[in-house]
Amino acid sequence: MNDSCTTQCTGISKEESADKLQTQSGNTNCTRKKIILISPYDLGRQPFALAEPAAIFGQAGYQVKCLDLSQQKLTDGDLASASVIYIYLSMLTATRIASEAMPRIKKMAPSAKIAVFGWYAPVNEKFLRELGVDAVFGGESEEDMLAYAGSITESGEMEQGEHPASRETVVNLSRIDFMVPDRQGLPALDKYAHLVMPDESRRIMGFTETTRGCKHLCRHCPVVPVYQGRFYAVPADIVLEDIRQQVALGAQHISFGDPDFLNGPRHAKRIIEAMHEEFPALTYDAVIKIEHLIKLPDYLPFLRDTGCILVTTAVESVDDKILEHLDKGHSAAEFEQVVGLMSEHNIALAPTFIPFTPWTTLSNYIELLDKIAELKLIMSVNPVQLSLRLLIPSGSRILELPKEETCITDFNPASLGYTWIHRETEVDALQENIRHWTEKAESRNLSRLEIFNGIRQIALKAASREAPDVTADQCGDTVPVHSESWYCCAEPTEQQLASF
């Protein structure tokens, strides 16, 4: 990392910053200790959540090695001399991959302490400790992670008694000092997911975050059990320096990975204004809630004029009762309103869905497909979205609903989620058939329209109905897409797990 950047962005000198971090770590003799930061999987993006703590540990004087298992393999050489290994669990898929990798990690680094952090760490504490995890962190965890590393000797022993994270999850929900992420130890940006434009040209994507956590409490969301309706801004100068360094590394497009980009609209605006002024050709995309797109209509021309070409929005359903169960904060009519607003402002929309829930019926599933066709969104919806099944992880607010409504049977440690079985066996069978068809069709590189029509025919047949296929002139415009699918609130697909 560029030293002058650190000085500029933290507002203190490098020496002062290093002293402060060494004091926070509780150990001023940490230069020989090696920290490994592992990301099992982060939706094909270069993980901000490794690069940012890498900068903090590096500045505190540790040797730091980042390993992104979506790109790199575990090796004895890297792990053998580690004092602490931190594994980032951002999503269920990452947690499942980490659990598979754990025996190898422990064998390769028998004396290292193993710690986990990220949304899925606190809610899976019991399972993770049974696997041999020594410490669990949640929320704004970098400073706690640093203090934990400071309490471990080079040979992996505790220096002064037991650290609290060894006994129970340490969740910090107060503001921390961020640093400009250190991305040097990660694979090059062009190895990660690209943005694929409608003309099939590709743009190298950078990835950063302007906030962490979320101020909303959607019932199915994995952010909620940890952040409990809070979010934290990453200082604008840190975000801008991170964008600057990614542009220097080749980024032509920035994907903002905040759970919701407009949780702090003025903060987002300040960053975008400065980014656009410095890099007028840079495009970007963000995840924005329907409620925010409706309540902040003045932002849409601003987003468009500053290079926003794609907004991902979690629609989940077009059935108002299901939206109420999920406590999504929008209605089906508001989704349609947003489709109109985005088209008016010439910003592509990528709606995401959780079509299979305990409240899905054959007819409301077909209504969802019809609505997507009616709104000319077939090219905007990643087909895998139409096969996803509601995930109910530990800590989910879905557990607040009566058991008879959610159809939950028990907790399945193998899938790290609660098993639910639909009252109507044909709905579960439909989901299985659609999942199977979508995976097969994608492996054959069928178009979104062909996959959509295949899905629709399967659903119509299940309901003993017939209807003609949707034609190419009804499917809407091709939109920019990430070359790796975006979804986090659903169970991982077989294909996704098999690739690891």
Which residues lie near ligand SF4 (CB under 6 A)? 214, 216-218, 221, 223-224, 259-260, 289, 314
Which of residues 136 and 221 has its CB atom nearest to ligand SF4 in the complex? Answer: 221
Which of residues 146 and 214 has its CB atom nearest to ligand SF4 in the complex? Answer: 214
β-strand 84-88 against 34-39: which pairing, if any? parallel
Which of residues 87 and 262 has its CB atom nearest to ligand SF4 in the complex? Answer: 262
> Rounded distance, CA 353 to CA 355, Å?
6
Which string of DSSP letters, residue by residue, matches 324-390?
Answer: HHTT-S--HHHHHHHHHHHHHTT-EEEEEE--B-TT--HHHHHHHHHHHHHTT-GGGS-GGGGG-BB
β-strand 113-117 against 84-88: which pairing, if any? parallel
What's the min distance (Å) between Cβ of 370 and ligand SF4? 25
> Rounded distance, CA 13 to CA 10, Å?
8
What's the min distance (Å) between Cβ of 91 and ligand SF4? 12
What's the min distance (Å) between Cβ of 259 and ligand SF4? 3
Residue type for position 267: H
- CA nearest neighbour of 266 among 230, 241, 302: 302
> Rounded distance, CA 245 to CA 185, Å?
13
* Backbone phi, psi, residue 242, to 5°: -65, -40
Which of residues 24 and 396 has its CB atom nearest to ligand SF4 in the complex? Answer: 396
Which of residues 214 and 391 has its CB atom nearest to ligand SF4 in the complex? Answer: 214
> Rounded distance, CA 143 to CA 478, Å?
44
What's the min distance (Å) between Cβ of 214 and ligand SF4? 3
Which of residues 260 and 334 has its CB atom nearest to ligand SF4 in the complex? Answer: 260
Contacts of 314 (CB under 8 A, 6+ apart): 218, 287, 289, 290, 328, 351, 352, 489
Which of residues 113 and 292 has its CB atom nearest to ligand SF4 in the complex? Answer: 292
**Strand intervals (E) in 99-193:** 113-117, 135-139, 170-172
**Are 77 and 16 contacting, i.e. CB atoms less than 8 angstroms apart?**
no
**Are 36 and 86 contacting, i.e. CB atoms less than 8 angstroms apart?**
yes
Q: Is 64 strand, coil or helix?
A: strand
Which of residues 193 and 214 has its CB atom nearest to ligand SF4 in the complex? Answer: 214
What's the min distance (Å) between Cβ of 87 and ligand SF4? 22
N residues, the chain: 500
What's the min distance (Å) between Cβ of 332 and ligand SF4? 17
- Residue 61's CB is within 10 A of a number of other CB atoms, namely 19
Which of residues 206 and 257 has its CB atom nearest to ligand SF4 in the complex? Answer: 257
What's the min distance (Å) between Cβ of 93 and ligand SF4? 17
What's the min distance (Å) between Cβ of 417 and ligand SF4? 17
What's the min distance (Å) between Cβ of 395 and ligand SF4? 13
What's the min distance (Å) between Cβ of 224 and ligand SF4? 5
- Residue 278's CB is within 10 A of a number of other CB atoms, namely 12
Which of residues 225 and 358 has its CB atom nearest to ligand SF4 in the complex? Answer: 225
Q: Is 50 strand, coil or helix?
A: helix
